[in-house]
Amino acid sequence: MADRLILVGCGKMGGALLAAWLEFGIKAAAVRVVEPDPNARARFAGHRGLRFHPDAGAIEPAFAPAAVVFAVKPQNMDTVAPAYRRYTERGAVALSIAAGRTIASFGHHLGASAAIVRSMPNTPAAVGRGFTVACANAAVSDEQRALCQRLLEAVGEVAWVEDESLLDAVTAVSGSGPAYVFLLIECLARAGVASGLSKELAERLARATVTGAGELAHRSSEPAAVLRRNVTSPGGTTEAALGVLMAADGLEALMVRAVAAATRRSRELAG
């Protein structure tokens, strides 16, 4: 990871990527970070050689990056992206983690022949347990693809798809997915309170149960269905609860509708 990089945006996801790159050995002096917010910059104040700039125009003209990583809000991309065309015209790959912004939309700003990778990470990247799905256009070389793989792997697992339209479903399942899990914790805790537990104990139980079960799933090679059956005794309490959750109008039906709604919205945002 010795290649020179420009990171555009150092918020939650951009900051998670930058922290991981520095931890994995990329030299601070090889990175230029475009971030006007002093609060976002303060997190990395201890990294000598790391240079922050308020905008693209402040980067020294001689700096030649191998990749420009876009980590700004999707609604700001049309204003931000055009300033980086000079880098893609010189052979840098553009790597986007902005939800909903298509490869074509970047091509409009960066040039029809620009090498562009669109990716969708999720927030567990902040603790190195993210999952990112990426899609490259035809201009991306094997070397550039490998570079993007390394950059994204710094915060978790990476998978590639050839069909860019699948990233809408990826966004709905993985990008938005952590929010569904956090809602499960909230609902499980409230159900515990409704059954007589104190709010504090119910919240502790719900959080520990979900995170513990997640870690068990992470470490196990068994399918989730097998892990579920391992917890379920015939005629027991878990079976009684699953009778509700696995009913025709239960959790699966709700989740299918939720993911479909998120997928539709992702397509709408992409235009």
pLDDT tens-digit map of 82-114: 999 999 999 999 999 988 889 999 999 999 999
Check whether residue 124 and residue 243 sit in a common domain.
no
- DSSP letter assigned to residue 70: E
Q: Does the residue 168 lie in any domain?
A: no
Check whether residue 60 and residue 130 sit in a common domain.
yes
Check whether residue 125 and residue 186 sit in a common domain.
no
Check whether residue 19 and residue 116 sit in a common domain.
yes
Check whether residue 111 and residue 185 sit in a common domain.
no
Q: How far is CA 59 from the centre of its chain?
A: 27
CB 169 within 8 A of CB 262: no
- pTM for the model: 0.89
Q: What is the pLDDT of residues 196-253, one digit of tens each?
A: 999 999 999 999 999 999 999 999 999 999 999 999 999 999 999 999 999 999 999 9
Determine the Cα–Cα distance for residues 27 and 4; give it in Å rounded to an integer: 9
Report the share of the chain in percent with pLDDT over 70: 99
Decide which of 130, 163, 196 is a domain's last residue.
163
What's the pLDDT score for residue 45?
A: 82
Give the chain's domain count: 2
Check whether residue 156 and residue 183 sit in a common domain.
no
Q: What is the length of the chain?
A: 271
- DSSP letter assigned to residue 254: H
Check whether residue 109 and residue 232 sit in a common domain.
no
- DSSP letter assigned to residue 3: S
Check whether residue 159 and residue 230 sit in a common domain.
no
Instruction: Report residue 81: phi and psi, to 5°.
Output: -60, -40
CATH of the domain at 53: 3.40.50.720
Comparing CA positions, the residue from 173, 106, 95, 104 lying closest to residue 134 is 95
Q: Does the residue 171 lie in any domain?
A: no
CB 72 within 8 A of CB 8: yes
- Quickly state the pLDDT bin for 34 (edges 50, 70, 90): very high
Q: Is the pLDDT of residue 43 over 90?
A: no
Determine the Cα–Cα distance for residues 116 and 131; give it in Å rounded to an integer: 19
Check whether residue 119 and residue 183 sit in a common domain.
no
Check whether residue 111 and residue 220 sit in a common domain.
no
Domain boundaries, position 128: 5-163
What's the pLDDT score for residue 1?
A: 43
Q: Does the residue 172 lie in any domain?
A: no
Check whether residue 157 and residue 181 sit in a common domain.
no
End-to-end Cα spacing for the chain:
34
The two tokens of residue 63 are 């700096």
Check whether residue 20 and residue 97 sit in a common domain.
yes
CB 162 within 8 A of CB 117: no
Determine the Cα–Cα distance for residues 267 and 75; give it in Å rounded to an integer: 14
